[in-house]
């Protein structure tokens, strides 16, 4: 379903990603704007992206080094991590900190927050102090959602207060925008591997446990597609497809194997044996004609004996008694008759058939491999529109 946007008094887009529970029975629709936004993110903003700030600005890094406060609130990172942790009311209703805690290479609603630059990203990754605080900020937000980080590889689980927080998360859909931003920022600052465990956990809770059902649209439309590794995306989409109900409404990821493989191969596979049989029948007729002509004219018989002594003829003597309409029998007979004046067109049929088979197989593999429903392998276009990264 297309995302709807509402602007709150604080200036935040309140529910551009989430699906209303009243629309749970409606078949969802893909969002062009989500596909466009996440394509640009996954491919490092390939079009019209410029580092517009001087390299020595580094506002995000200086904030994480506790040298400057975030604007416009004037609060330092240490105060956020120590005094805001567990203050769910403040974390819920303040809408200016999230852009500073999880910076991106795109502008959010807080115009005091600066976009990351490629140079700043590299410097951030080298600064242990900044990385340590970044992970603490990630843990703080996970706990706000009712989730806890359990190890250094990014695995997550339910927090102690998960029931209360999941209920809140299910009803406060503007937090889905925050999760998208957090996932993007993890990828920018060196924690791409943390994204899959979090998305898998959310999909499990939404589709299997049904604890946060309202988040499933955002999870499939946004969260999954923040992951840059296509194989990881496919694993998550297959997991979601397995548990999605009703199954016929699942519109993300590659098509079902029965549809992509079953039809095409079943139609094209019988074609080569048929052409081989026709070719072999014509070969038998030509071989009989050549035998009749050789028995009538002794000179042609001598020529045939000379040809038998030439290389490649043992295969002819071995295959000639065979009358089975198989591909193996067809190939030697095409070689045998390739010296005739009127047989040049026959081998072409048998040669092109395997090529057609390979092309059809490659085509079906591409269909299975590509996320055709999700526009995953192509640039969704250049039309401009608000996206989730700009909503926070």
| pLDDT in the model for residue 137 | 98
User: Residue 147: helix, strand or coil by DSSP?
Assistant: strand
Under the banding of pLDDT at 50, 70 and 90, the label for residue 100 is: very high
| pLDDT in the model for residue 23 | 42
Strand ranges inside 112-195, DSSP E:
147-149, 156-158
- Give domain limits for the chain: 32-249
| pLDDT in the model for residue 342 | 39
Most confident of 11-20, 130-139, 372-381: 130-139
| pLDDT in the model for residue 160 | 96
pTM, whole model, 2 decimals? Answer: 0.64
Average pLDDT estimate for 265-293: 48
239-243, long-range: CB within 8 Å, 24+ apart, which pairs? Answer: 239/200, 239/203, 239/204, 240/203, 240/207, 240/216, 243/203, 243/207, 243/208
The 8-class DSSP code of residue 157 comes to E
DSSP 79-92: HIIIIITT-HHHHH
* Model pLDDT for residues 333-382, shown as the tens digit of each residue: 443 333 333 333 333 343 444 444 444 444 444 443 444 444 444 444 43
Q: Please say whether the beta carbons of 159 and 146 come within 8 A.
A: yes
- The C-alpha atoms of residue 204 and residue 219 are separated, in whole angstroms, by 10
* Model pLDDT for residues 207-243, shown as the tens digit of each residue: 999 999 999 999 999 999 999 999 999 999 999 999 9
| pLDDT in the model for residue 265 | 47
Average pLDDT estimate for 53-66: 85
The mean predicted confidence, pLDDT, of the chain is 73
What is the Cα gyration radius of the chain?
32
Under the banding of pLDDT at 50, 70 and 90, the label for residue 12 is: very low
């Amino acid at each position: 379903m297309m995302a709807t946007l509402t602007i709150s008094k604080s200036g935040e887009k309140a529910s551009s990603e989430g699906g209303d529970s009243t629309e749970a029975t409606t078949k969802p629709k893909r969002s062009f704007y989500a596909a466009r936004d996440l394509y640009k993110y996954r491919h490092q903003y390939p079009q019209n992206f410029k580092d517009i700030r001087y390299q020595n600005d580094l506002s995000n890094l200086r904030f994480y080094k506790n040298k400057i406060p975030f604007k416009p609130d004037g609060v330092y990172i240490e105060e956020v991590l120590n005094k805001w942790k567990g203050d769910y009311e403040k974390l819920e209703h303040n809408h200016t900190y999230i852009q500073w805690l999880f910076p991106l290479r795109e502008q959010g609603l807080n115009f005091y927050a600066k976009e990351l630059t490629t140079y700043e990203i590299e410097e951030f990754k080298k600064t242990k102090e900044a990385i340590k605080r970044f992970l603490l900020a990630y843990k703080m937000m996970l706990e706000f959602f009712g989730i806890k980080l359990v190890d250094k590889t990014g695995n997550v689980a339910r927090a102690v207060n998960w029931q209360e927080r999941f209920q809140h998360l299910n009803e406060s859909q503007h937090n889905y925008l925050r999760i998208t931003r957090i996932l993007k920022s993890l990828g920018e600052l060196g924690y791409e591997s943390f994204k899959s465990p979090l998305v898998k956990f959310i999909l499990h809770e939404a589709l299997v446990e049904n604890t946060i059902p309202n988040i499933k649209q955002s999870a499939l439309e946004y969260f999954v597609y923040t992951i840059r590794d296509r194989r990881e995306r496919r694993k998550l989409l297959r997991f979601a497809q397995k548990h999605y109900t009703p199954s016929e409404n699942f519109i993300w990821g590659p098509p079902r194997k029965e549809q992509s493989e079953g039809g095409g191969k079943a139609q094209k596979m019988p074609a080569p044996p048929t052409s081989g049989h026709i070719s072999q029948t014509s070969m038998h007729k030509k071989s009989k004609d050549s035998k009749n002509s050789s028995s009538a004219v002794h000179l042609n018989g001598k020529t045939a004996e000379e040809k038998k002594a030439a290389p490649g003829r043992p295969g002819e003597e071995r295959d000639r008694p065979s009358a089975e309409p198989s591909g193996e029998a067809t190939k030697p007979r095409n070689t045998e008759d390739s010296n005739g004046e009127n047989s040049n067109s026959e081998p072409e049929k048998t040669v092109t058939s395997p090529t057609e088979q390979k092309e059809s197989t490659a085509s079906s593999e591409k269909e299975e491999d590509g996320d055709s429903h999700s526009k995953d392998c192509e640039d969704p276009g250049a039309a401009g529109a608000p996206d989730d990264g700009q909503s926070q």
